[in-house]
Amino acid sequence: MAEAAYATLVANADYLIGARALARSLRLTGSAAPLLVLAPAGLVGLDALEADGARIVPVEPPDVSEAFRERHSRDRQHAAAPFTKGGKPAFHDPLMNFAKLRIWELEEYERIVFVDADAIFLRNCDRLFAYPEFSAAPNVYDALDGFHRLNSGVFVARPDRRTYQEMLAALDAPEAFWPRTDQTFLQAHFPDWHGLPYTYNVLQYVYFRLPELWHWPALKILHYQYEKPWQEDHPKRAELGPLIDLWWAVLDGKPLPESLDSPHGKA
């Protein structure tokens, strides 16, 4: 069985730039673990990620019914479960989110740590490979009640095709609707999920909404949920300016800063 690996999903061309920053940040932390990039076959621009050392894994969303596809189309999913605390960019594709589940088919790896393409590593996270399936960090970004919910931007999985088949059977059950797509599904499928420290998936709104949790020396992975730092017209530029600048610095190959305090001072 092959070594453990990190994995991410490039759902469409708009996430290519995000995955490049993620790949470069991984190397800045000194990790030697490979980064698998799950992406639709034929997507233009993947050669740039290969140049950054990533391994490309062609994937498509799971084979689901047409009714499931209709319920989880962007328009219907966003209408049924609107995002009220932040804005999803126009290129957000809810159905493609379920392609994350394909990592359970990659049985040549003993452990896979999945990290969303809109995140960057701040410190070495290789110890995550020792965590059990299914481990995930909480969904904390505006209130502490988020500790009761997982966020699927970072999680630990043990690939097994039998698990994948079990997932498919539960995923496309009659009338099944997953309001936050893969995130809602994974919490339902793994109700006894193991909680990772929130520092392994620090959601960007923590920076200005929960400054008491923003302690730079402890932060491991920064996740740019909702608005993306590469959006031309970023609606939260005023609140998140330093984090946007950090992301661009990582993409440009600059070293990670020694400190970055919240606008409310040190935690």
Q: What is the pTM of this model?
A: 0.92
Any residues with CB less than 8 A from the CB of 101 and at least 6 apart, and which? 62, 164, 167, 168, 171, 182
Looking at every residue in the chain, the average pLDDT score rounds to 92
Among 21-25, 125-129, 146-150, 177-181, where is mean pLDDT lowest?
177-181
135/166 Cα distance (integer angstroms):
18
What's the mean pLDDT in 125-151?
A: 95
Sort residue 121 into left (φ over 0), alpha (ψ -120 to 50) or beta.
beta
221/35 Cα distance (integer angstroms):
15
Q: What percent of the chain has pLDDT over 70?
A: 91
78/6 Cα distance (integer angstroms):
29
pLDDT band at 1 (very low <50, low <70, confident <90, very high): very low
What's the mean pLDDT in 181-209?
A: 96
What's the mean pLDDT in 223-229?
A: 96
10 Å Cβ neighbour count for 106? Answer: 20
> For residue 78, what are its two tokens?
């966003």
> For residue 231, what are its two tokens?
């959006």
Q: What is the pLDDT of residue 2?
A: 67
Is 80 exceeded by the pLDDT of residue 36? Answer: yes
183/233 Cα distance (integer angstroms):
27
What's the mean pLDDT in 168-187?
A: 92
User: 5-251: what CATH class?
Assistant: alpha beta
What's the mean pLDDT in 21-45?
A: 96
Distances (CA, A) of 137 to 81, 101, 142, 151, 225: 22, 17, 15, 6, 14
